Amino acid sequence: MKILILCTGNSCRSQMAHGFLQSFCPDIEVFSAGIKPTERVNQMAIEVMKEAGIDISGHEPHNVSEYLDASWDYVITVCGGAKENCPAFSGMVKHRRHFGFDDPSTADLLDLQQTMGEFRRVRDEIKARFYSFYLTGLCGKECS
């Protein structure tokens, strides 16, 4: 099973989804990429995932162009920008899904505590949505 998770910058939401989905089943091949990838994964995303017991500190943003010729069981967009600007894949894509989440990196908040709270809220939404997807769509197909 091969899954590609797309976001605009590949620095927050797609990286968190990648980390969670991989943690649910190590046998699933999970990749993430951005339409306009940033230079590095957002440090606050790394921190809130660490709080959840998942280390994404070794992840790096990738450009979706690296994956256009591959075949995918699922291509999942996690933001409106990626959904609207998703390029055409020349490889086979069996299923496309969109699970939209707010971008915590653009939250206009006053202090670090509020900003981290927004990252935690989005992290928890991502975990719940991808766990539901895993249970209903993938469970038993790759992992026992």
- Domains identified in the chain and CATH numbers: 2-138 (3.40.50.2300)
- 139 catalytic? Reply is no
Catalytic annotation present for 79: yes
Catalytic residue among 12, 25, 86, 143: 86
Q: Where are the alpha helices (DSSP H) in the chain?
A: 13-24, 43-51, 80-84, 112-133
**CA distance linking residue 17 with residue 4, whole number of Å:** 10
Instruction: Please report the pLDDT score of residue 113 as a whole number.
Output: 86
CA 99 vs CA 15, 44, 114: distances in Å:
14, 21, 24
Given this model, what pLDDT does residue 109 score? 67
Q: Token digits for 140?
A: 């038993």
Model-wide pTM > 0.75: yes
Q: What is the pLDDT of residues 98-115, one digit of tens each?
A: 999 999 988 766 688 888
Residues 6 or more apart from 141 whose CB is under 8 A from it?
1
Average pLDDT value for residue range 72-94: 78
| CA 12 – CA 66 distance, rounded (Å) | 19
**11, pLDDT greater than 60:** yes
Catalytic residue status for 7: yes
Residues, the chain, total? 144
pLDDT at 80 over 60: yes
Catalytic residue among 7, 12, 139, 143, which? 7
Torsion of CA 43, 44, 46, 47, to 10 degrees: 120
Q: Which of 12, 25, 79, 143 is catalytic?
A: 79
pLDDT at position 22 over 90: yes
| Statement: residue 10 has pLDDT above 60 | yes
